[in-house]
Structure 1
Amino acid sequence: MQISRLFQIIYILLEKGTTTANELAERFEVSVRTIYRDVEALSQAGIPIYTSQGKGGGISLTDKFILNKSLLSEKEQDEILLALQSLSAVRYPEFDEVLSKLSVLFMKSNVNWIEVDFSSWGSEQRQKEIFSLLKNTILEQRVIAFSYFSAAGEKSERLVAPMKLLFKNKSWYLQGYCLHRMACRTFKITRMSDVRVIGDSSAYEFKQEQMTTAAPNDSAEIKIPLKLKISAAGAYRVYDDFDEKDITKNENGSYTVNVVMPGGEWIYNYLFSFGPLLEVIEPQNIRFEMAARIKDLMGKYAI
């Protein structure tokens, strides 16, 4: 909290010029003595801050002071602003406000040189609300309850201590410690509903280092090595979806892809998304299951 208050004090002084310890104490709901300790901390950090007595006196910064010459390097400023711009891309007002304030502090006028679009769900109001709630529960170490639909369409009730929000493969996920399964799990946010905060996590013993990059479908223990053949017409998908080291281009222009992917129902939907561009070569059980599903689909559309 102190670091945040120190930055805000600098911002206020840059904006107002001079203010009093009493005004700052009232604004931040701390004692005047605390404000003077903050002033001392800023001074020790190299910020040219000073106090003056008498009418019109108070706490001020040296004229023409620029934050970037005293506290953060040019590269550090750019990294902070880039991180805030990335967060701002999900369209949350609090990030825009912080970005605006730090732009003033760093004396930067051009902070819109990059745009990050986190894709579909962020534009929906309900998902925005879930995102904001999850963000706060992670920062405040709260426990949440919610209903969850698996990739197979099965509904279950979950009790989770959230740890991290993850954006992966065009979708948002929540990583957390599931208190029902007593293990770390990853949940696709679009499959979560009726999300509610039920308490803090102080009663539960778990460590963040326990988190692993579990599969989005809760099948982290299942990994399937796949050998795929993709036609030349599917080149745009090949380099979008797979690492270059896993791709071999064949003489006829087609591609062979050797990749390891998490198992589960979702994998069939993913493979079918390529349509006629893709053929599963290995493993045989996936190939046979694909054939069975194609046969079933043909039966539904038989003329």
Structure 2
Amino acid sequence: MKSSRLVSILLLLQTRGRMTAAQLAEELEVSVRTVYRDVEALSAAGVPLYGDAGHAGGYRLLDGYRTRLTGLTADEAEALFLAGVPGPAAELGLGSVLAAAQLKVRAALPPELRAHADRVGGRFHLDAPGWYAEADETPYLTAVADAVWNSRVLHILYRRWREPTDVERRLEPYGLVLKAGRWYVIAGPGPRTFRVDQILRLAVTDEEFTRPDGFDLAAYWAAYQRDFHDRLRPAEAVVRLAPGVTLDRTTGHRTEQDGWTRATVPIESVDHAHAEFLRLGSGIEVLEPPELRERIARTVAELAERYGNAATHGGH
């Protein structure tokens, strides 16, 4: 801890210039006496650190004493400070680590690049979760992250959407993904995807696992998202649309002589398409699949009979 604190004092003075012992103590959350001892240790190690007495005094480094990161462009320096998202880092228990890392990078930047990085922090703030979604409770996130890092097997009680809802699973956690404010753990065997907020109970074991050679977390997630969207609309319907009627996601448009348009529409299921197409009333005719056409025909016949009876009763 002391060595880390000494580095922090050095970087704070390098970044901010003159600071008093009280300011350093507040920043590092230690006593002023501890700061005095640390300053003495830095001086004994040959660091050109000087103390000025008086009301405007404090500690400072000899001008020109600094380490610099070389080879960074202004755009790269800006990207470094845009990449650190404080919210997710804090959820993983890495908030202070992120702050320390940014401090070290900032201290090592030349003044002109430091100005670019500071401008990013003042003008861009990343907030991943949506407005209308409640924040997920993820009490086991830190434990999952530790297991990912240390390659430890997890035993969990997991809640899924189908029966039986609560199931026990053995996981070999390969990685964590944050998507739209929600954490997912990618785990073997499989691999498979689990929502961290749906873990009801968790036990970290001493059993170690070996991550598959060549496993690419980013590539897996990209493929998982493609499969997810494909599963949303696994089937297709062929329809005719009246003039002026449109549907999203249609393909293979062909305008017929009567002005109607023949098109192919991806559908999630017959049930979902049945409800969706009925809203268009007489503006749509379903040609395929046969089971969807027949179901809509039955619904229309039932409605015609119902409203026909209503008209008859109203006439009396």
TM-score (norm 2): 0.49
Q: Which residue of 2 aligns with 1:57?
A: 46
- Of the three residues 137, 150, 162, the one matched with 2:173 is 162
Q: Which residue of 1 aligns with 2:194?
A: 187
Pairing of 1:247-258 with structure 2 (within 5 A): none
Q: Which residue of 2 aligns with 1:114?
A: 125
Secondary structure, aligned partner of 1:109: helix
Work out the CA distance in 2 between the residues paired with 1:148 and 1:83.
32
Residue by residue over 1:45-65, the C-alpha shift from the partner in whole angstroms, topping out at 9 and shown as x without a partner, is xxxxxxxx9868347787346
Q: Which residue of 2 aligns with 1:73?
A: 73
Q: Which residue of 2 aligns with 1:94?
A: 94
Decide whether aligned partners of structure 1 residues 157 and 72 sit closer, same or farther in structure 2, where only a CA change above 3 A counts.
same
Q: Does 1:199 align with 2:219?
A: no
Residue by residue over 1:131-174, the C-alpha shift from the partner in whole angstroms, topping out at 9 and shown as x without a partner, is 32222221222211112233323232111111122344774422
- Of the three residues 12, 16, 31, the one matched with 1:15 is 12
Is the 1:11–1:101 contact (alpha carbons within 8 Å) kept by the matching residues of 2? no
Give the drift of 1:247. Answer: 6.8
Q: Percent identity?
A: 11
Pairing of 1:1-303 with structure 2 (within 5 A): 11-16=8-13, 57-58=46-47, 63-64=63-64, 70=70, 72-85=72-85, 88=87, 91-92=90-91, 94-95=94-95, 98-99=98-99, 102-103=102-103, 104-105=106-107, 106=109, 107=114, 108-110=117-119, 111-112=121-122, 113-119=124-130, 123-124=135-136, 126-127=137-138, 129-155=139-165, 156-168=167-179, 171-178=182-189, 183-202=190-209, 204=210, 206-207=212-213, 209=215, 212=220, 213-214=223-224, 224-227=234-237, 284=289, 287=292
Is the 1:145–1:157 contact (alpha carbons within 8 Å) kept by the matching residues of 2? yes
Work out the CA distance in 2 between the residues paired with 1:269 and 1:139.
44
Work out the CA distance in 2 between the residues paired with 1:9 and 1:268.
67
Bigger Rg, structure 1 or 2: 2
Q: Aligned AA for 1:109? A: D
Q: Aligned AA for 1:57? A: G
Is the 1:164–1:175 contact (alpha carbons within 8 Å) kept by the matching residues of 2? yes
Work out the CA distance in 1 between the residues paired with 2:7 and 2:83.
21
Secondary structure, aligned partner of 2:215: helix
Decide whether aligned partners of structure 1 residues 221 and 163 sit closer, same or farther in structure 2, where only a CA change above 3 A counts.
farther
Is the 2:156–2:169 contact (alpha carbons within 8 Å) kept by the matching residues of 1? yes
Secondary structure, aligned partner of 1:209: coil
Q: Aligned AA for 2:87? A: S
Secondary structure, aligned partner of 2:192: strand
Is the 1:186–1:215 contact (alpha carbons within 8 Å) kept by the matching residues of 2? no
Structural RMSD (CA)? 5.7
TM-score (norm 1): 0.51
Work out the CA distance in 2 between the residues paired with 1:9 and 1:74.
29
Work out the CA distance in 2 between the residues paired with 1:222 and 1:198.
36
Residue by residue over 1:183-222, the C-alpha shift from the partner in whole angstroms, topping out at 9 and shown as x without a partner, is 21112334322122123424x573352874457999x999
State the number of aligned residues: 235
Q: Unmatched 5+ residue regions in structure 2?
A: 15-41, 50-60, 300-316
Give the drift of 1:96. Answer: 5.8
Work out the CA distance in 1 between the residues paired with 2:179 and 2:129.
10
